Structure 1
Amino acid sequence: MLQTRQVQHTLMAYLRHELCTPIDATIGYSAMLLEELQTQPDSIFVADLQKIHACSQQLLTLVTTILDPVQLEMSQIDGELSRFGAELRMELLTPLSTIIGYCEMLLEEAPAELIPDLDKIHTAAHQLLSLVNDIVHLAQQQLQRLTTPDTNSPLLLEHPATAILLRSATTTLETLDRESTVTQSQGGMILVVDDNPTNCDLLSRQLKRQGYTVTTATNARQALRLLKAISYDLILLDAIMPEIDGLELLQQLKQDDRFKHIPAIVISALETIDVAVKCIELGAEDYLQKPCNPILLQARIATSLEKKRLRDREILYRQQVEHLTATAAAIEERNRIAREIHDSLGHSLTALNVQMQAAATLLLTDPTQAHSFLTQAQRLGKTAMQEVRESVRALRTDERTEQPFAETIAALAEEFRQVTGITPNICLRLTQPLSFSVSKTLYRIVQETLTNISKYAEATQVQIHSIATEHRIDLKITDNGRGFNAHQQTTGFGLQGMQERVAALNGKFHLTTSPGSGCQIQVELPLSLN
């Protein structure tokens, strides 16, 4: 006596799906024929096809009910397979005989365009008849496999679901009901993977009628070849196939960067919740149990395709953002180069020009002083060349030699004195070393301001004051020159560069000036960014 519920469940599932394979084919093909004839409701063939379709639905209901392991006690079949088989035949033969009879009449009378599908219905019905007549032997063979331990066989008792893997599973779907509100599809490239050619043909034709472009594959290797050659929007995958089954193929796809973004819907004859969970864990978009409700499948397909479209848009959006970010970075880099050239090289060249003009003026009247100015100009020329080299080096590497802030400001003040004869008043109160970014920003601001003063201000006094606290540092540069109208002044690289540098460190920049009142630049930088 067999006592294991696992054996009962596996046996019933095996028999049920073996019988449902041809039943699904008769349902699907008869539904498609009825759809083709819907414009001819008075056709003499419509009534016969409706009887075939109705009997096919009846067969599906009978098989699902009779072979339900929840409803059927094991004692009803254990040791009494002959009686069980006879009762099953008695229930199924009447609607099955009706299908065969009407199909044979239609094959004799129907027009040529209906014959191929009628022939498929006739073949499927005879396949089902053969299975029903041999149901006892089929059940005995399966019981033998389930109850005979074999370490070389995947059909071990502790893995009841693997029993179904011996046979080719079916993927058959009814066409959408003509009264369904789902009348349009959004289109898309779909790959159907099923080792049963009838299932592939039926599902492919149904999906094409809904507006999809469909390709079929009868095994995993063929599916992989197609995926490498064609870009698909969705994969409908049979879980049970020979050699590489659907779950193995799904796992391979989700581990491959080329295919992991393609949604896959698994359609399986396996009823256990464990299989459904496994599919989802492996990355399936959805899981449907055979036989599928066609309207439900259509809804799942539409949802999966919409998700993929949204994912594709998100990927495109991210690529566009990355492109714009790279473009913005390139623009910022060009601006930075412009600031570097203006701040460093521009300063040296301006001072050089002043020295050369002074030398030219004194060349005849005071050659000694002119020679002094030329010497300074030569030094500034070397400085300018060094600035060019440093700018080039700065573009090639981020490694820079850091100098104390006070020393860099003192060097700028000495250069300013040599050019203008004005010694800036410097007052620096620093409580801690400054970070490179803060030190460099303040250095460039002082450098640019002194350059502007020497070129335009006609000042006689310059003050450079800086005070640092625990959280911020303030810089104030004041001159008593002629000043200018800040509202009318066109912002060039000088002021603009200073403002951009301060903004980059989340600082504050303030300019105070007016004609005849000198100029004051105030900068406040946070030290929390150090």
Structure 2
Amino acid sequence: MEKWQDPEIIALWIAIAIALVFTILLFVIKIMHAGYKRMTEANLKKAQTQLEHQKMLLETSLHAQERERGRIAADLHDGLIGRLTLIRMKNQIGAGQPELDALLADSITDARRISHDLTPPLLEFLSIEELIEQVVTPWDKRFEIDFYTDVRFDATLTAEFKIQLLRVVQELVTNIVKHAQATNIKVHLRHTPKKLILQVVDNGKGFDASQQKKGLGMQSLELRMQYFNAAYRIKPGAKGTAALFIIPA
């Protein structure tokens, strides 16, 4: 009988084969376990990152809300209430009716602007051009306003999209009015089939970009850009600041 036909030899080879298969299985299981462990750790890390990101967005959103309340309170105190107090004083000292009428007209304009800032009326029925125009035109007595739009697909913009974009313009214009010491504000809006391009430029003194990034205004803009999944660039300079936003539409 040949050796390979020897039952003991056959049993030995079977044992070796079983051991080899078992070893291979252990090796495969170990590799799969290591891969599963890495995948689990990666998923856990991703979940933790997303949780931290959501927490940061929530905190930014809450700060932005508080900041907006503070801005409205300041607008009421410094603008509308200040004008009404002045009207009362002027009336007490016998100011002429034309002067009082002019102050009342300015007060009405302030009240209307604050009301529009809170929630623009007929939001769903007004075009984005009309909404932005309501933001920039009240300042045409103090600034040279260059407002241009090329929007041919406004029907595709949702009310939420329009209000978020409007808040971006409000934030930029408010910063220019309060801090830029500018004389000219340029707001250009163009809507193509695939994207919406917003450009806001002033001729003011610019700002420190490293410090501006820490402010709630920039955090609010970043939050809205994440909502839009948009790209943006804000470039300060000695002759003013240029802000460019490219938003998928």
Per-residue deviation, 1:493: 3.4
Query: Which residue, out of 173, 186, 190, partners 1:450?
Result: 173
1:514 aligned residue:
237
2:17 aligned residue:
296
Per-residue deviation, 1:512: 3.0
Work out whether residues 441 and 502 of structure 1, in 8 Å CA contact, stay in contact via their aligned partners in 2.
Answer: no
Give the paired residue count. 227
Work out whether residues 461 and 480 of structure 1, in 8 Å CA contact, stay in contact via their aligned partners in 2.
Answer: yes
> Per the alignment, in what secondary structure is the counterpart of residue 337 of structure 1?
helix
Give the Cα separation in 2 of the matches to 1:338 and 1:380. 25
> Per the alignment, in what secondary structure is the counterpart of residue 190 of structure 2?
strand
> Per the alignment, in what secondary structure is the counterpart of residue 467 of structure 1?
strand
> Per the alignment, in what secondary structure is the counterpart of residue 232 of structure 2?
strand
Please say if 1:320 is aligned against 2:41: yes
Per-residue deviation, 1:449: 0.7
Please say if 1:413 is aligned against 2:148: no
1:427 aligned residue:
148
1:145 aligned residue:
none
Per-residue deviation, 1:430: 1.4
Per-residue deviation, 1:429: 0.2
Give the Cα separation in 2 of the matches to 1:449 and 1:466. 14
1:73 aligned residue:
none
What does 1:136-151 align with in structure 2 at a 5 Å threshold?
Answer: none
What does 1:80-479 align with in structure 2 at a 5 Å threshold?
Answer: 293-341=14-62, 346-347=67-68, 349-358=70-79, 361=82, 365-367=86-88, 369=103, 380=114, 404-413=127-136, 417=138, 424-433=145-154, 434-436=156-158, 439=162, 442-479=165-202
Give the Cα separation in 2 of the matches to 1:423 and 1:338. 37
Structure 2: stretches of 5+ with no match in the other structure: 89-99
Work out whether residues 355 and 374 of structure 1, in 8 Å CA contact, stay in contact via their aligned partners in 2.
Answer: no
Q: What is the letter of the counterpart of residue 486 of structure 1?
A: A
What does 1:70-81 align with in structure 2 at a 5 Å threshold?
Answer: none
Work out whether residues 347 and 451 of structure 1, in 8 Å CA contact, stay in contact via their aligned partners in 2.
Answer: no
Q: What is the letter of the counterpart of residue 47 of structure 2?
A: A
Distance change (3 Å), C-alpha of 1:383 and 1:440: closer
Work out whether residues 146 and 186 of structure 2, in 8 Å CA contact, stay in contact via their aligned partners in 1.
Answer: yes
Work out whether residues 426 and 463 of structure 1, in 8 Å CA contact, stay in contact via their aligned partners in 2.
Answer: yes
Work out whether residues 186 and 201 of structure 2, in 8 Å CA contact, stay in contact via their aligned partners in 1.
Answer: yes
Distance change (3 Å), C-alpha of 1:450 and 1:352: farther
Give the Cα separation in 1 of the matches to 2:62 and 2:219. 14
Distance change (3 Å), C-alpha of 1:334 and 1:452: farther
Query: Which residue, out of 465, 480, 488, partners 2:203?
Result: 480
Per-residue deviation, 1:465: 0.7
1:493 aligned residue:
216
Percent of aligned positions with the same letter in both sequences?
Answer: 18
Distance change (3 Å), C-alpha of 1:478 and 1:506: same
Per-residue deviation, 1:432: 1.9
Task: Tell me how large the CA RMSD over aligned residues is.
Answer: 4.4
Distance change (3 Å), C-alpha of 1:381 and 1:411: closer
Distance change (3 Å), C-alpha of 1:300 and 1:459: same
Work out whether residues 230 and 245 of structure 2, in 8 Å CA contact, stay in contact via their aligned partners in 1.
Answer: yes
Give the Cα separation in 1 of the matches to 2:188 and 2:22. 71
Work out whether residues 356 and 373 of structure 1, in 8 Å CA contact, stay in contact via their aligned partners in 2.
Answer: no
Give the Cα separation in 1 of the matches to 2:109 and 2:227. 39
Per-residue deviation, 1:353: 0.4
Per-residue deviation, 1:450: 1.9
| Superposition TM-score, scaled by structure 1 size | 0.35
> Per the alignment, in what secondary structure is the counterpart of residue 483 of structure 1?
coil
Give the Cα separation in 2 of the matches to 1:356 and 1:341. 23
Distance change (3 Å), C-alpha of 1:357 and 1:440: closer
1:129 aligned residue:
none
Give the Cα separation in 2 of the matches to 1:298 and 1:495. 65
Distance change (3 Å), C-alpha of 1:447 and 1:299: farther
Q: What is the letter of the counterpart of residue 78 of structure 2?
A: Q
| Superposition TM-score, scaled by structure 2 size | 0.65
1:485-520 Cα offsets, whole Å, 9 max, x none, are 4356453232344356547766542323334x2322
Give the Cα separation in 1 of the matches to 2:40 and 2:228. 28
Give the Cα separation in 2 of the matches to 1:377 and 1:352. 12
Give the Cα separation in 1 of the matches to 2:106 and 2:22. 86
> Per the alignment, in what secondary structure is the counterpart of residue 482 of structure 1?
coil
Give the Cα separation in 1 of the matches to 2:144 and 2:68. 17
Q: What is the letter of the counterpart of residue 42 of structure 2?
A: V
Distance change (3 Å), C-alpha of 1:381 and 1:326: farther
> Per the alignment, in what secondary structure is the counterpart of residue 209 of structure 2?
coil
Q: What is the letter of the counterpart of residue 520 of structure 1?
A: A
Per-residue deviation, 1:305: 1.8
> Per the alignment, in what secondary structure is the counterpart of residue 293 of structure 1?
helix
